[in-house]
Structure 1
Amino acid sequence: MKTKIAVLGAGSWGSMLAAILDANGHEVQLWTRSAEQANELNQHHTNSHYIHDYTFSASLQATTDLEAALTDATDILFIVPAQATRSVAQDVNQILAKLGTKPALIHGSKGLETKTYLRISQVLAETIDPNHRTSIAVLSGPSHAEGVTQHDPTLVTVASDDFDAAKHFQKLFMNEYFRVYTNSDVIGVEFGGALKNIIALASGALAGLGYGDNSRAALMTRGVAEISRLGVSFGANPLTFAGLSGMGDVIVTATSTNSRNYRAGYQLGQGVPLDEVVSNMGMVIEGIATSQAAYDLAQTTGISMPITEAIHAVLEQKETVPDAIHALMTREGQTENG
């Protein structure tokens, strides 16, 4: 059955998820704050700032009118930057109250809210009244928009406390090049998706310094270990971190130049100041804000997260990348499973 889906956020991943839903035969309204971007999508069917050399279907429509996007929508996909989710959700809550509708919610943002340290599903649950939503789910996994444009077989996870909601979104998104698995571990899926960006920054920094396969394999493996430690302390299933939204997402994000976090880390490794890195990127680097939230959580909980602490020190300009690597490598010996 054809449904109307509001996709909030027209960055690279938001616009490609919208394209997938459109290709699957659903009515999709893509919302953006930028009138210029909406006009480009509607008139030229391109999104050149985020996706190069790709033409969207003419049936995919963009708008800057949030109420128009939400009207008659049975489902809402939030794909805005983590730090913008609360403000957008507050606007959505007001409009849903006015419309009197109760759609299913899903998000694909990968980050933690700074200061509150909340996961994105928690921000949505706190901000959007239960009377204005039927369920909350999260979509995550090893996926770059650039690969989806080529129909590169992509596998992701949809997690929800409501199994029917997870199955619902699995059916909406899945097709011959985009395979979706269900999961009930929302905590693990969100922590994996958020914290892998920190590992991607570190991996890019290693590459920027000229280090090779050995160092990055070690980084990713130990990175998953510390992500798992923190996630499990909040109730996550440790097996989740061996799956698509854990190790899978770390691999794709920490090895690919399609990852803006990896590219940002690469520049840091080459000695480019952080403010220049942010300016050069022209897009949100989720790992920067997430590293602060993860660092604070590690300090509060007493969870050992040496890679996160090292990246935090670099971003705070307390250590250079070479000094941070030296400090990590010369730490007191540990047991691998400790």
Structure 2
Amino acid sequence: MSIAVLGAGAFGTALAISLARAERSVTLWGRDAGTISDMRECLENKARLPGIALPEALKFTADIAYAAQAQTILLAVPAQQLRQFLKANAKLFESKTLVVCSKGIDLETGTGPSALIAEICPTARIAILTGPSFAIDIAQGLPTALTLAVGGSAKALQTELSTHNIRLYSTADRVGAELGGAIKNVIAIACGAAMGAGLGESARAALMTRGFAEMTRFAVSQGADAATLAGLSGFGDLVLTCTSAKSRNYAAGLALGAGKLPPEGKTVEGIPTAHALVAAAEKAGCDMPISNAVSALVAGRCSVSDALEDLLSRPLKEE
């Protein structure tokens, strides 16, 4: 059975590399025909994963219809582009297994990718692949454990997508898995801002802990199982993203905390997610002080010191 990875960014390419090394039949699709041609010729994604050799067995295409012939399709496009991408290709995705590999909350609707797919591609089988992982680690063959959230029996898909360096743990809680992966990016910006402003590691630990409480509180309000948030897709991803300089969201927070602009040319999903999360949390009546602070910070409505003062001046409460 063939697999298509749609999105030739760093993470999509890394997944395609790992699957191809595991002797799966894999096609990597990218929208830029020139980039795809270069990858086919040089067996390297020079822009996203320089120095990593692409397997010779990996197939490349800029033809979405050709790629979508696969039954299992991994969607590695940015979360804020997913709605339009699904709409543009809905016919091609009928009755396919769509595995979302991006993390975020749709800014237009305030929903996660599962709801978008259910709305736009109702005949598709929906799965979420998420958890603590960096593209470069996967591409280099380093061990990674991820969550595969899928309704119904997950065994066949779990087996199909597991490789020598990617170990998958299954769950039926798609909502919990996708919200954990989305919200941790917002908390990572907060942690980066604290470190960039010189507030120290104790402040970061506090933000991670209280951020995890926010993440769990909101996810449960949306029907998730709290136990899911304590796993790889929640706590595990939070730890990695809030402590590593490889994290785009953490790096963006570092820059903001130091009074600089986030690095250009990199997708920072936590920024639109923060705005979407604040709106969704208000609608749900869910208290999200750290997320509110991040939304205000990235929008330029407050400084790091202002956000810290607001958080510290909140009424004292039990943990």
TM-score by length of 1: 0.91
Contact 1:70 1:76 in 2 (8 A): yes
Q: Distance in 2 between matches of 1:233 and 1:170?
A: 28
The counterpart of 1:186, out of the listed 174, 188, 200, is: 174
In 2: Cα distance, 1:332 partner to 1:284 partner: 35
Identify the residue that residue 252 of structure 2 maps to in structure 1. Answer: 264
- 1:137 matched to which residue of 2? 127
Query: Is 1:248 equivalent to 2:236 in the alignment?
Result: yes
Instruction: Show the 5 A alignment for 1:1-338.
Output: 3-71=1-69, 73-96=70-93, 102-130=95-123, 133=124, 135-162=125-152, 164=153, 166-273=154-261, 277=262, 280-336=263-319
Aligned partner letter, 2:302: E
- Structure 2 unaligned residues grouped into runs of 5+: none
Output the aligned Cα RMSD. 1.4
Measure, in 1, the Cα distance between the counterparts of 2:73 and 2:290.
35
Distance 1:36 1:266 in 2: 34
Letter in 2 for 1:140: T
Aligned length: 319
Whether the aligned pair in 1 keeps the contact of 2:19 and 2:163 (CA below 8 Å) is: no
> Percent identity, aligned pairs only?
39
Contact 1:139 1:159 in 2 (8 A): yes
Find the aligned partners of 1:230 and 1:315 in 2 and give their Cα distance: 21
Other structure's SS at 1:152 match = coil
Q: CA deviation at 1:120?
A: 0.4
Query: How far 1:96 moved relative to its partner?
Result: 4.6
* SS, match of residue 107 in structure 2: coil
Structure 1 unaligned residues grouped into runs of 5+:
none
CA contact (8 A) 1:260 1:281 kept: no
Look up the SS of the partner of 1:255 in the other structure: coil
CA contact (8 A) 1:156 1:245 kept: yes
| 8 Å CA contact 2:52, 2:140 repeated in 1 | no
What one-letter code is carried by the residue in structure 2 that aligns with 1:92? N
Give, in angstroms, the shift of residue 36 of structure 1: 2.6
Per-residue Cα deviation, 1:104-133 (whole angstroms, up to 9, x for no partner): 221111001112111101111111141xx3
Q: Which amino acid aligns with 1:268?
A: L
The amino acid across from 2:203 in the alignment is S
- Opposite residue 304 of structure 1, the aligned amino acid is D
Q: Is the 8 A contact 1:93 1:129 kept in 2?
A: no
- Structure 2 distance, partners of 1:95, 1:312, is 36
**Is residue 264–residue 281 contact of structure 1 (8 Å, CA) maintained in 2?**
no
**Any idea what the Cα deviations from partners look like across 1:229-282, whole Å, max 9, x if unmatched?**
000001100111111001100011111111111111111111124xxx2xx331
CA distance in 2 between counterparts of 1:249 and 1:190 reads 11
Distance in 1 between residues matched to 2:50 and 2:310, nearest whole Å: 40
